A = this chain, B = another copy of it.
Amino acid sequence: MHTALKARRQEQATSESADKLLSRLMERCLKVRQTTEQLAAPLSSEDQLLQSMPDASPTKWHLAHTTWFFETFILTPHLVEYQCFHPDFRQLFNSYYNAVGERPLRSNRGLMSRPPLEQIRDYRRHVDEALLRLLERGGADPVMQLIELGLNHEQQHQELIVTDIKHAFWTQPLKPAYIEDAAPEAIPASPLRWLPFSGGIYPVGHEGKNFAFDNEGPRHEVLLQPFEISSRLVTSREYLAFMEDGGYQRPELWLSDGWETVQTNQWNAPLYWIKEESGDPGWQIFTASGVRPINGDAPVCHLSYYEADTYARWAGAHLPTELQWETACGTEQPADSDSAFLEDRGFHPLPARPGDGLKQMFGDCWEWTASPYVGYPGFRPSAGALGEYNGKFMCNQIVLRGGSCATPRSHIRATYRNFFPPQMRWQFAGIRLAR
């Protein structure tokens, strides 16, 4: 085949594949946007206004802010004929982008009964239509990458919708359920095994054409010493043994800040655990489907970093660093995981399934690592307002890895770096051990 023909065929192939990519992106776009609305569907307009603490946001706000993200960073600059839905919304639904300007106080999001939920739904439709127009038209790679970013951003907020409404329902006297009980099958947790990794130089961080956040790169090499990692997450039964051994009463097990936090908040169990009042010394747990008995085989979750770190110390181990975690994870894929994800709509972690190798690396519970959240060597935030997405939070936060039962399966990956302040407990965060 002579060269001209070859070049043309290649061109066609590229073009075809570009079309295919575009149609995949469009499909994904529709699906992500619909998923958000499905998450809101069981909630009344009153429910969707709840903000039970400054760190959480109302469902309605999530619906609007994810839409604002597309409007502000994609449609307004890149779709020429785009008409803003409402001039005030640029301020109203800005989360934390100083470069975009003023915004309402974060802690006041629950006070915005106006604009009403119905208008937010119109806002979503308005932006969805414009997005599809932009996608149909195809367009420059950077714009498509921005759309991919917007979808990943929206998936992060899907998880927050779940965790925030769980907290909001928890603060209510009636302890309502978000979904009907899925009655998960009872499986005994597989026994905990230790998987060894030899020391040496390993590559970590993201590279390549697939989407990743700026904080996942640059890919670089690190020198690790030999370590072992546990095959599954710590279970509620194991955590109960720690509690019964006086775990919450022994300062020597705790970081100084952690002990102060325990004392100040009078913690004596994970968040959402309820001591039964009757003679029975049992515990119940508040879940997305209401209050039910603790399942000792399921992973313990809704822990702070302090509790995870202390449990590990008590157990004669420690938390893995994020580099150990990523190295251990290797080429595992969320797609192959048998853990719970957002798509399963149970919103509660499952016991580890039987089987060899590492279980629960993705899904079920975020895993607190021993690593404070800092930039990788050579890290540079994206330019412009979007540079505020990740980089400016690199202080007083701890990295979590692997996603949870509230994370979309298509959102998580081995290099993914989540982060929260060490005292936070309302995320589905649990414990994997290393030593």
Contact = CB atoms under 8 A, between A and B. Distances in A.
Interface of A: 44-47, 49-50, 52, 60, 88, 91-92, 96, 98-99, 104, 108, 110-117, 168-169, 171-174, 176, 201, 220-223, 225, 251-252, 254-259, 305-306, 370-372, 374, 377-378, 387-388, 392-396, 422
B255 A46 contact: no
Nearest to A258: B395
A123 to B, nearest CB: 14
Given A50-B113, A113-B44, A396-B422, A378 B225 contact: yes
A225 B256 CA distance: 34
Contacts of A370: 374
Contacts of A220: 225
A364 to B, nearest CB: 25
Given A372-B372, A392-B255, A223 B223 contact: yes
Contact of A255 (B60, B222, B393): B393
Chain B CB count within 10 A is highest, among A60, A114, A258, for: A114
Given A223-B222, A252-B98, A395 B374 contact: no
A92 B173 contact: yes
Given A46-B60, A47-B114, A49-B49, 4 more contacts: A88-B174, A96-B256, A110-B110, A255-B392
Nearest to A201: B223
A252 B99 contact: yes
B111 A255 contact: no
11 contacts: A44-B116, A45-B46, A46-B60, A47-B114, A52-B111, A111-B172, A112-B174, A113-B168, A256-B393, A257-B396, A370-B374
Chain B CB count within 10 A is highest, among A46, A112, A221, for: A46
Contact of A394 (B50, B52, B104, B255): B255
Nearest to A251: B98
B171 A111 contact: yes
Contacts of A171: 108, 111
Nearest to A117: B46
Contacts of A44: 45, 113, 116
Nearest to A421: B396
A395 B422 contact: yes
A108 to B, nearest CB: 7
Nearest to A398: B395
A2 to B, nearest CB: 46
A53 to B, nearest CB: 10
A172 B114 contact: yes
B422 A114 contact: no
Contacts of A221: 223
A106 to B, nearest CB: 11
A264 to B, nearest CB: 14
Given A173-B92, A225-B220, A256-B96, A46 B395 contact: no
A333 B321 CA distance: 32
Contacts of A387: 252
A261 to B, nearest CB: 10
Contacts of A112: 172-174
Nearest to A92: B173
Contacts of A257: 393, 395-396
A172 B422 contact: no
